DNA sequence: AAAGTTGTTGACCGACTGGTCAATTATACT
DNA sequence: AGTATAATTGACCAGTCGGTCAACAACTTT
């Protein structure tokens, strides 16, 4: 029924993701998003009750994309060492692609947004905290696989180690964003992650 | 000469630091800073040519405070292991203090601001990158001391390792800000840092 | 063709944005 | 006392902010 469905909502979500990722949530206005998406503001508020709700939905989209990718990378059919290698390579590739597209190293979108809004918008803050927790669960399963294969010490606390790896990667990405330079990550992230995991050889 | 000097400028810097640290640069307005500092906007622009210049000066102040503290912690008269222990403890204490004062875990002020503004304001971005580089230099000297004492492998690249430690700490602080919870850092930061450094016993 | 539904538009809102400025006040030096 | 200098004020600015809304356009169903 009604008028033919359009891709307006999708365009708004994509544009907002790019803009907010490159700059920041508060630095990007609804007008700017609409202008770049070629959509009038009336349409924006037809699809989203507020700017914050757009951010919430944009995170859902990114989460789903991330899930598809990570379900493959951390598939139980893979060797856990390979999973971590693929994860690091995926992070690097994605960062390079975004750098080329948006003209700046952007880091982890969830971390950047979370850092900005954690103390400003409770709902967004909680959502990002959950997304980060979900990501660390991929690491946990791979760490358990490493233990069962005898590749790392079985005395380690898997939850703790997974959180450490996640914050390490996020921290490296944050520094890459600040330095606007991916060299350090390209040259060191993989070996640093394996050193942190504590796997002898890989 | 002239009218008696006041603490107006200092009040503005302190208020802005608190507000921007808790929320974010773009979320805090000049009006808000002035109101909370009990200063009229005209006075604000008497001392600072723009909002960005206030941020720049506020970073200088924080940098100087940090330097005094780190010159002590990483004094060459200390054992390097002790320096890292003190550094971790200082980070935790400071975060606890700020959490109580501002009502939220705030993470590293430079990293938070840098993450937000790296792609928005070049001058601020560069300044923060420099501050971060300065901080890692403290780690470098302590790492060299650890090597000369035979406490860690002398094959490691000191520059690389120092950057890893710094981004690790920054990443942990970022996650603490997002989760608004210091428990993980309190319980794990010290051991995680020493594990990353690769020192056998401490 | 009328009715119902969905998408789009542009004009509009009050509040607030970063920033300006001339006038005023308080002090120190001559 | 007079003057130079620095601090403070409050009114003011144009532009932008997030958000609203009634009208209209395009489509499907009855």
- Over residues A52-98, the pLDDT tens digits come to 999 999 999 999 999 999 999 999 999 999 999 999 999 999 999 99
User: pLDDT category, B175, cuts 50, 70, 90?
Assistant: very high
B191/A contact by beta carbon, under 8 A: no
- List, in order, residues 6 or more apart from B190 with CB less than 8 Å away: B85, B88, B89
User: pLDDT category, A4, cuts 50, 70, 90?
Assistant: confident
Check if the beta carbon of residue A22 is closer than 8 Å to that of residue B116: no
Note whether B120 contacts A166, CB cutoff 8 Å. no
Note whether A125 contacts B178, CB cutoff 8 Å. yes
Mean pLDDT in residue range B62-86: 98
Mean pLDDT in residue range A157-176: 98
Distance CA B165, CA A192 (A): 10
Reply yes or no on whether the pLDDT at B201 is more than 80.
no
Digit-coded pLDDT (tens) for A129-155: 999 999 999 999 999 999 999 999 999
Check if the beta carbon of residue B184 is closer than 8 Å to that of residue B172: yes
Which one of A128, A155, A175 would you mutate to disrupt binding with B, by most B Cβ within 10 Å of its Cβ?
A175
Digit-coded pLDDT (tens) for A177-198: 999 999 999 999 999 999 999 9
User: pLDDT category, B17, cuts 50, 70, 90?
Assistant: very high
Mean pLDDT in residue range A146-165: 96
Digit-coded pLDDT (tens) for A7-57: 999 999 999 999 999 999 999 999 999 999 999 999 999 999 999 999 999
Tell me the CA–C1' distance in angstroms for B4 and D10: 22
* Strand C positions closer than 7 A to protein CB: 4-12, 16-22, 25-29
User: pLDDT category, B5, cuts 50, 70, 90?
Assistant: confident
Note whether B178 contacts A114, CB cutoff 8 Å. yes
* Greatest pairwise CA separation for chain A in angstroms: 62
Mean pLDDT in residue range B21-36: 98
pTM, full prediction: 0.96
Digit-coded pLDDT (tens) for B98-135: 999 999 999 999 999 999 999 999 999 999 999 999 99
Mean pLDDT in residue range B2-25: 94
Check if the beta carbon of residue B156 is closer than 8 Å to that of residue B198: yes
Digit-coded pLDDT (tens) for A112-123: 999 999 999 999
pLDDT for res B3 = 79
Vertex B89, ends A196 and B85: CA angle to 5°? 60
pLDDT for res A2 = 74
Neighbouring C-beta atoms of residue A177, cutoff 10 Å:
26
Give phi and psi for A166, each to the nearest 5.
-60, -50
- The per-residue b/e assignment along B28-51, b for 16 or more CB within 10 angstroms, e otherwise, is bebeebbebbebeeebbeeebeeb
Which one of B111, B113, B116 would you mutate to disrupt binding with A, by most A Cβ within 10 Å of its Cβ?
B116
Give phi and psi for A193, each to the nearest 5.
-65, -45
User: pLDDT category, A5, cuts 50, 70, 90?
Assistant: confident
Quick one: which of A37, A54, A80 has its CA closest to A193? A80
Tell me the CA–C1' distance in angstroms for A6 and D17: 28
Query: In which region does residue B3 sit, left (phi positive, over 0), alpha (psi from -120 to 50) or beta (all else)?
Result: beta
**Minimum CA–CA partner of A99 in chain B:** B119
Name residue, tokens 């875990």.
B105
3-class SS of residue B106: coil
B35 touches strand D (CB under 7 A): no
State the sign of the Cα–Cα–Cα–Cα dihedral B133, B135, B140, B143: negative
pLDDT for res A165 = 98
Mean pLDDT in residue range B33-40: 98
- List, in order, residues 6 or more apart from A154 with CB less than 8 Å away: A147
Q: How far is A68 from chain B (nearest CA, A)?
A: 24
Q: What is the mean pLDDT of chain A?
A: 97
> What percent of chain B stands above pLDDT 70?
100
pLDDT for res B134 = 98
Note whether B174 contacts A174, CB cutoff 8 Å. yes
Check if the beta carbon of residue A181 is closer than 8 Å to that of residue A105: yes
Reply yes or no on whether the pLDDT at A200 is more than 90.
no
Q: Judged by CB atoms within 8 Å, which residues 79-108 of B form the interface with A? A: 102, 104-107
Q: What is the mean pLDDT of chain B?
A: 97
Note whether B178 contacts A107, CB cutoff 8 Å. no
Q: Burial, A29: exposed, middle or buried (Cβ in 10 Å; 0-12, 13-18, 19+)? A: exposed
Candidates A115, A120, A163; nearest CB to B184: A163
């Amino acid at each position: 029924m009604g008028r033919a469905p359009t891709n307006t909502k999708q365009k708004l979500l994509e544009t907002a993701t790019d803009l907010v990722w490159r700059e920041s949530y508060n630095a990007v206005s609804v007008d700017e998003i609409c202008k770049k998406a070629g959509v009038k503001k009336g349409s924006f508020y037809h699809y989203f009750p507020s700017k914050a709700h757009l951010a919430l939905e944009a995170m859902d989209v990114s989460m789903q994309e991330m899930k598809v990718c990570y379900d493959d990378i951390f598939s139980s059919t893979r060797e856990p060492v390979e999973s971590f290698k693929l994860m690091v390579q995926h992070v690097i590739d994605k960062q390079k692609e975004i750098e080329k597209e948006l003209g700046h190293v952007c880091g982890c979108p969830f971390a950047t947004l979370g850092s900005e809004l954690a103390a400003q918008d409770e709902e967004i803050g909680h959502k990002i905290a959950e997304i980060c927790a979900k990501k660390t669960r991929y690491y946990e399963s791979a760490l358990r696989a490493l233990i069962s294969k005898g590749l790392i010490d079985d005395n380690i606390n898997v939850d703790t180690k997974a959180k450490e790896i996640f914050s390490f990667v996020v921290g490296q990405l944050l520094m890459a964003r600040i330095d606007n330079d991916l060299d350090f990550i390209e040259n060191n992230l993989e070996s640093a992650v394996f050193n942190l995991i504590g796997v002898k050889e890989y």
